[in-house]
Amino acid sequence: MNLSLKNNSKILFWILLISFQIIYSQNNTSRENISLNKNWKFHLGSANNPSKDFDYGIVRNFTIAGGGGGAVVPKFDDSAWRTVNVPHDWAVELPFEYHKHFDVQSHGYRPVGGFYPDNSIGWYRKHFTADKAKEGQRFVLRFEGVYRDFKIWVNNNYIGSNFSGYAESSFDITDFIEFSGDNVIVVRVDATQYEGWFYEGAGIYRNVFMETFNPVHIPEYGVYVSSKIEKSKALVEAETTVKNQEGKTVNCSVVSYVIDSKGNKVTKTVTEKLTVKNNEIGKIAQKLSINKPELWDLDTPNLYRLVSIVKKNGITTDSTQTEFGVRTFDYNATTGFSLNGKSMKVKGMCVHQDHAGVGTAVPDALVYYRIKLLKEMGVNAYRCSHNPPSKSVLEACDRLGMMVLDEIRVIGTGKEYFDQFEKLILRDRNHASIMMWSLGNEETGVQNTDLGRRMAHTLVQRQKELDPSRLSTYGGNNGINFKGINEEMDVRGFNYHIKELDDYHKEHPTQPIIFSEVSSMVSSRGMYVKDSLKGYLPDYDLNKPRWGQNAEEWWKFTVERPWLMGGFVWTGFDYRGEPTPFTWPNVNSHFGIMDVCGFPKNTYYYYQSWWTDKDVIKIYPHWNGHKKGDKVNVWCNSNAEEVELLLNGKSLGKKAMPRNGHLEWDVVYEPGKLEAIGLKNGKTIRTAVETTDKAYQIVLTPDRKTIKADGNDVSVINVTVLDSKGREVPDAMNLIQFKLAGEARILGVGNGDPSSHEDDKCLDGKWKRSLFNGKCQIILQSLEKEGEFSLTASSEDLKNTTTIIAVKK
C-alpha cells in the first residue's frame, strides 16, 4: 500500500471519528425542557367503586412489570375522555354543595374530599412520541404540583408516586421510553384527603415538563450559588454536583462563570476537574468575584446567571444557567430588618394560591399579574401560605422585586415531611427573593412541646447545612410562650397576640421578631351594610375576628417599635373557603385586601397611602343608593397632609391627616358629587364619587393589548359599566355575556362576590358572569397561532362592547 495513502486513510479515519463524536455530542449534550401541558385526557374515577374507577383496585396494576390493567394499559380507549390542558383544577369545575362538616366549609363547599368519593379521583392520560435521535439520553418527567397523592405509570409500568399536593416530584423514565411508537403517561390523582383547611383544588394544577439530558449531567437541584458583599465586590460561591449514569467512571470538568441580565460576562471563567464513578455523584465548590455588582433590591431587582458547564474529553455534556441575586438581608433584635443596609419594615401579605375562574390552576402569566397588583399596593414581601409555592411565584418575585417567606406545609421530621422540607430548600435556595424559611404555621399540637422543639431543631440544623445564607422562622399563634418550637427559631414569628408582643420582646431581647401573620380584618368589596343572611360585611377597616386587628391598629403598633421587623397581613387576596365570620351561602373568605379577582377593597388604599410614595386619595362609600337626609359615614384614605371634603361644591371642612391614619366625616346625604381635595407637598390631589344614572354601556379593560402566541400567556380583562354620562356605576349587578372569536380560549370568569354560586367555568359559547358591585373579570389564554382574538361583552339593555387583543410570537 502506498505510504501516503495509508497515512491519508488514518487521517480520514480520525476525522470521521471526531466528526462522529461531535455529532453524537450534539445529539446527546443538549439539555431540553419540553412542556407537556397540552392535550391530556381526563376522566373522573371513584374512591369506593372499582367499576367507576376503571377497575382500579381489582386489576393487577402492581403485580408484575408491564402487567397493569384498566386505564393503565396503553391501548386503553380514552377517546371519550375529555381533553384538557394543565394546569388543571377539576374541583373548580364542580357545583357548590352544602355540607355541615367544617372541612367542607373551609374548602369552599366544593364537593371534593372524603364525603364525595365520585368527585375525588381523577385520571389523566398523555400520549407522546420520543425522538429517536435522543436515544442514549436520560428522560425525566417533572410535575411541579399535583393535588394530591398521585401514582404514575409509563407504558404500563408503574413508576412511582407523590404524597403531597404541594411538593414537586420527578421521575426518571428513561428505561420505559419507546422510540418506535406511541408512549402513554397515566396519572391517577387521589384528592379524597385534605392537607390544609382552605381551598386546595384537585388535579395536575401546576406545570408538567419532560427533561432530557446527557448521562453525565448536573442533576436536579445540583447547583447552589450564594454571594456576599465585601467592599466593592460580590464574592460568589458556586457548588456544582455532577451525576454519572454513563456506565463507567468518567473524568470530567466543571466550567463556571457569571453573566448579567444582558448576557455580558462579569467574572472570570473557573474550571475544576472531577472524577465520578458510575451511578455516583461528585461535587465541587468554585469561587468567583463580581466587581461593583448591581444589587437585587425591591425597586431594582437585578439578577445574574451562573453558567455551569460539564465537559468530558473537552466536549460539553451538560450546561445550565442558574438565576441569582446579590443582596444582604439583616435581622436585628434591636433595629429590625434591613435590605442591603437600608432599614425598612416588612410590608407583607399572606397569600393563598387560588384565583377567580381558575381555582388553583393559575397560569404563570396570571401569577405575574397578581404579584404586580401587590407591588402596586406597596407590598414588599409575600408569605407562601401555607405551603411551598409554584416556581412561577418565586420567579415573578425575583424579577419584580418582592421578598418571600417560603413555607413548608407541615412541620415534621418523619421521612415524608423531612423529605418535603429538604426538597423545598434544595429547589428554592437560589432565588434572590427568599428572605427566610418558614418551618410551618400554627402547629397547635406540638408548638409548645419538647417534641416540637426537637423537630424544629432537626429542621433548622438541616436548613443551615443546605442553605447557610438564610434564617428560619415559624408562624406561632402561641403568644408569649417560648418553650417548644420558638426556642429554636432564629426569628420569632408572631401570629396575632399583639398584646403579648412587648412582654415577649422584654423577656427575649436578642431574638428578632416579625408578625408572621397579622390583622385578619374582614370586609366585602363595595358593600356598606352588614348582611348576615347573605354573608356580606361593610367595606371599611372595622370588622375583625376575636384574634385579629384592624389594619390601622397593627400598622401603627408596628411603626412605633423599631425592633419589630414588620409583618404579613392575612391576606392579600380573598380565597375560596374559610368564609369567616359566616357559613353557607358564603363560599370564600372576606380577609383579602383585594377580592378573589384582585379588585381592591377600600383598605387597599390605606396600605397604599402609607406603604408607597404615590399620590393617594380615596373616599368612600360610593354615592348611589342612599336616601336623602341619611347620615353617611364617609372615610378618606390618603397620604396628603390635609384633606377638604366638599358636597356639591360646598365645603364640609378641612382636616389634617394623622400619620398612618385616616379621616372620617358624617355627611347628611344629598345626591350629586362628593369630592375630596388634598394637599401633599404643596401639590393638590383630588378624587370624587358621584350619584350615577343607571348602567348604559359596558367597558372592557385588558391588562395588555398584546400577548404571546405560546399557548400559555394570559389576558386578564376586567369588566365595568358606565352610565350615559361616562361615569362608572359602582353598584351595578348586570349579567354580562361573552362571545369569543380568534386565537384564544376562555379559562374562567369571576366577580369577587363571596356568596356567588355562579359557575367559574362555562360551556363553550355560553360564558357569562354577573357584575358584583360594578365589576367582573374574564381570563383568556392564547393559542399557539399568531393573529388576534376579539371578545364581545353584552347584556340586556346595555350597549355592547368589543376589545381586540393581538397574539404574537
pLDDT of res. 63:
84
Residue in 442, 487, 670, 728 annotated catalytic: 442
Peptide bond into 388 cis (omega under 30): no
Model confidence pLDDT, tens digit, residues 788-799: 999 999 999 999
Model confidence at 745, in pLDDT bands (50, 70, 90)? very high
Q: Which of 711, 631, 642 is nearest to 676 (CA)?
A: 642
Q: What's the distance, CA 157 to chain centroid?
A: 33
Task: Identify which has the larger pLDDT, 68 or 554.
Answer: 554
Which whole number is the average pLDDT over 414-425?
97
Strand intervals (E) in 648-743:
650-656, 663-668, 673-680, 683-690, 697-702, 706-708, 714-722, 735-742
Report the share of the chain in percent with pLDDT over 90: 95
Backbone φ and ψ for 463, nearest 5 degrees, come out as -60, -45
pLDDT of res. 29:
56
pLDDT of res. 19:
42
CB atoms within 10 A of CB 60: 11
Residue in 168, 246, 517, 552 annotated catalytic: 517
Q: Average pLDDT of the chain?
A: 95
Is there a contact between 597 and 777 (Cβ–Cβ < 8 Å)? yes
Which whole number is the average pLDDT over 547-559?
97
Is there a contact between 238 and 286 (Cβ–Cβ < 8 Å)? yes
pLDDT of res. 18:
39
Helix axes 603-611, 364-377, angle to 10 degrees: 70
Model confidence pLDDT, tens digit, residues 298-317: 999 999 999 999 999 999 99
pLDDT of res. 30:
80
Q: Please state, in angstroms and rounded to a whole number, the distance separating the CA atoms of residues 688 and 492.
A: 44
Grid cell for residue 456: 424544629
Alpha-carbon distances, residue 801 vs 23, 175, 189, 699, 706 (angstroms): 56, 55, 42, 7, 18
743 is catalytic: no
pLDDT at 529 over 50: yes
- Residue 462: in which H helix or E strand, if any? helix 450-466
239 is catalytic: no
Model confidence at 766, in pLDDT bands (50, 70, 90)? very high
Peptide bond into 87 cis (omega under 30): yes
* Angle, vertex CA 19, rays to CA 15 and CA 20, nearest 5: 120
pLDDT at 602 over 90: yes
Model confidence at 66, in pLDDT bands (50, 70, 90)? confident
pTM for this entry: 0.94
